Amino acid sequence: MKDKWTQLFSGRQGMDELSKLLFWAALGLLALGVICALWAPWLSSLLTSFGLMSLIISFVRAFSRRLTLREAENLAWLRFLDKKKAERAAARDRRAQKDYRFFKCPNCGTWVRVPRGKGKVHINCKCGYILYRKT
């Protein structure tokens, strides 16, 4: 039996992080579809169809032999997750600093740090945009 599983998965991607996410999302959508069946049948059918599509995509990714393409997709997903984790950590650090206010430049998106309690100030961003804010 173990040889059959080994032979089945030889040369295939297997369950990477993106496939695991799709699998668990599919199970969640299918469970929500069953729960919603009593009071919203149209929503139940929609959630069930999305859940089945997600489940199919998850298993297609797991059994795929196109390893370079699947690894690139997984790497893009992991980069996206790392970027979101870094943004949350930076936001947490900004909230923790009580001596400064942080403003986001509407032109370039850079976060600018200004001391608190200075009243109305104008802030020069690196891109040349001038912000007028109250600290």
Closest CA relative to residue 102, chosen from 83, 128, 127, 125: 125
User: For the whole model, what pTM was predicted?
Assistant: 0.69
Question: Residues 6 or more apart from 109 whose CB is under 8 A from it?
Answer: none
Res. 84 pLDDT band, cuts 50 70 90: very high
What torsion do the CA atoms of 127, 84, 73, 67 make, to the nearest 10 degrees? 120
Closest CA relative to residue 72, chosen from 86, 85, 59, 61: 61
pLDDT single digits (tens) 18-58: 999 999 999 999 999 999 888 888 889 999 999 999 999 99
Cα–Cα distance for residue pair 29/52, rounded to 1 Å: 8
pLDDT single digits (tens) 109-122: 888 888 888 889 88
Angle of CA points 85, 18, 67, to nearest 5°:
125
